[in-house]
Chains A and B, each alone.
Chain A
Amino acid sequence: MHARSDFAAGGPAARPIRDLYYVRVATTGLSFLFFGLFGLVLGLLVVPLLLLLPGSRDLRRVRVRRMVRLAFRSLVGFMNQSGGISYAFSGAERLGRPGQLVIANHPSLIDIVLLVAFVPGAACVVKRAAWRNPSMVLAVDAAGYVPNAPTGEMIERAAALLEAGECLIMFPEGTRTVPDRPAHFHRGAASVAVRSARVVTPVFIDVRPPHLSKSVPWYRVPARRPHYSLTVGPDIDPAPFRDRPPPVASRMLNEALKSCYAHVVRTT
């Protein structure tokens, strides 16, 4: 019994486990397994086949993004059906507009999976490591995703996508929030927005209890079934900020973004 209370998040004093705890441990493991296996099949077989189909570069990019979206949608469906998580996404129909920068806080590993699954046609700024992962590199490249790096290249590529009328997903925190520690909103997203977003739309992600957060191994499944609540907030118009020079404008916009997230995440 000792092992059980240790396993459930929170250690010995944890609340009693419920919601089919052991089933959730198993299906969480399966979710990772599926992610890995389907990732291999899609990344090494389906993507190359898609790239062989005739069509312009743009059309290929659309196809690959559609495939990624479908795969993530299936993964979300599996996690939901198998009881691993539950979720509610309110306002998703306002996402995916041309030139829209979608920003979100980043409490969990699967935030990007949920966002990509529900934002049609979107590009995203993705961990650089994906370009070193053999099963991901073709997909992220063909999908035209932008590797995250603290460089001008990332900012310029992200801004160019928005300029071209695409929708882009970014996490201003850059990496997942460590629970109970204040988050740091990097200015990269605000800088990209000031450069070329037509509109900035915040998504507020609230996960209770915390799930797949940083510094917690995946098998440390929370005692209760985690619920993901994703809420699309009101649009922010970046235009008024452009009256000031870009460095000043991006600082002001970043402050505005932080205060708009104050109810879900504590920022520094």
Chain B
Amino acid sequence: MPVLPRMHDTDAILAELRATLAELFELDPARITPDARLSEDLEIDSIDAIDLMDRLRRQTGRRISIEGFRSVRTVGDLVQAIQALVSEG
């Protein structure tokens, strides 16, 4: 299981996230680009978001509330949200 803790640069986070999304949703990693929209392009819905939050919680070891992810639309938004979260310290 990949672990996210001390990662601050977006490329590394994107790489980890790509692996996570590909595994969790059985997606082709090539489709997981920063511009890809989670719901329209990757068909990740609100129930999937719960499973994703669970996974991120385990990977980052942080309490993640879905509130911080309300404005997330694309994979790129998600990378930024995770970065903000892990750099909070």
Q: Give B46 Cβ to nearest chain A Cβ, in Å.
A: 6
Q: Give A41 Cβ to nearest chain B Cβ, in Å.
A: 39
8 Å CB interface, B36-60 against A:
44-54
A37 within 8 A of B: no
Contact of A245 among B23, B45, B49, B50 (CB under 8 A): B23
B66 touches A152 (CB 8 A): yes
A138 within 8 A of B: no
B11 within 8 A of A: no
A151-B66, A152-B66 known; A191 vs B47 contact (CB < 8 Å): yes
A247 within 8 A of B: yes
A contact residues, total (Cβ < 8 Å) = 15
Contact of B50 among A186, A191, A244, A248 (CB under 8 A): A191
- Which applies to chain A's interface (DSSP): helix, strand, loop or mixed? helix
A155 touches B25 (CB 8 A): no
Cα A187 to Cα B24 with chains together (Å): 16
B45 touches A152 (CB 8 A): no
Give the chain B neighbours of A151 by CB distance below 8 A. 46, 66
B51 touches A247 (CB 8 A): yes
B26 touches A187 (CB 8 A): no
Cα A151 to Cα B24 with chains together (Å): 19
A151-B66, A152-B53, A152-B66 known; A247 vs B48 contact (CB < 8 Å): yes
A-B interface, 10 closest residue pairs, ranked by CB to CB distance from nearest: A152-B50, A246-B51, A247-B48, A245-B24, A187-B47, A191-B47, A247-B51, A248-B26, A247-B25, A155-B50
Show 21 residue pairs from A and B whose CB-CB distance is below 8 angstroms, ordered by the A residue. Answer: A150-B46, A152-B49, A152-B50, A152-B53, A155-B47, A155-B50, A156-B50, A191-B47, A244-B26, A245-B23, A245-B24, A245-B25, A245-B26, A245-B51, A246-B51, A246-B54, A247-B25, A247-B44, A247-B47, A248-B25, A250-B47
**Chain B contacts to A: CB under 8 angstroms:** 23-26, 44-54, 66
